[in-house]
Amino acid sequence: MSERSGIPGEGLVKGLAVTLKTMTSRSTTQQYPDVAPELPPRSRGVIALLAENCTVCMLCARECPDWCIYIDSHKEEVVVAGAARPRQRNVLDKFDIDFSLCMYCGICVEVCPFDALYWSPEFEYAEYDIKDLLHDKDHLGQWMGTVPPPPAHDHNGEPAKEEATAARKAAAPTSSAARPTVVRPEPGPAADGGTP
């Protein structure tokens, strides 16, 4: 049989010491409803929609593991001056996200090629009825006001691909006079005396 500490009730004394120390220290409880919490800059609260950027490519709905994004659209013809025939474009009719199903993975925000979906740090949108957690495109558009601006580019980091391409195009000579000319030798008789 293993022996415990030689002093009877030592564990009780240590426990009381911890209790007394905690009682005399300042409380770290955040007064949440009265004081807004300081959230990290990349907090995931609610998904906001910029409907003007949405081209109804359906990538977000296809990649969503919970199938909580519902999109509906129709096609419109757009007449372009000088074009042989009118072009068609998709017009967004319905864009709903069911936040009672959403697991906030962020895949929809990442796969959107046209920057139509953004993370907003706003998290106070609880409802009494679960049916009210289905947000339509107007409701999702209202969250755009709470989306923080993107962080500034690190001046010591690599430039974006678009910036590098634009800088290369601006630095490249545009006139044919600035381009080096390549002189090609004239074809002549072959070295063995035969015809070329």
Give tens-digit pLDDT for 89-120.
999 999 999 999 999 999 999 999 999 999 99
68 among annotated binding-site residues: no
Average pLDDT in the 161-178 region? 77
- As a whole number of angstroms, the distance between CA 106 and CA 87 comes to 33
Q: How many helices (H) and strands (E) does the chain have?
A: 5, 5
Does 179 or 95 have the greater pLDDT score? 95
**pLDDT(5) > 70:** no
pLDDT tens for each residue of 46-62: 999 999 999 999 999 99
3 state SS of 155: coil
Q: List strand residue ranges (DSSP E) for the chain, in order.
A: 46-49, 69-78, 87-98, 117-120, 134-135
Count of beta carbons in the 10 Å neighbourhood of residue 95: 24
Integer Cα distance of 128 and 95 in angstroms? 22
* b/e per residue 66-94 (b: at least 16 CB within 10 A): eebbebebeeeeeeeeeeeeeeeeeebee
102 in a known ligand binding site: yes
| pTM of this prediction exceeds 0.85 | no
Q: Which of 101, 118, 114 is closest to 45 using CA atoms?
A: 118
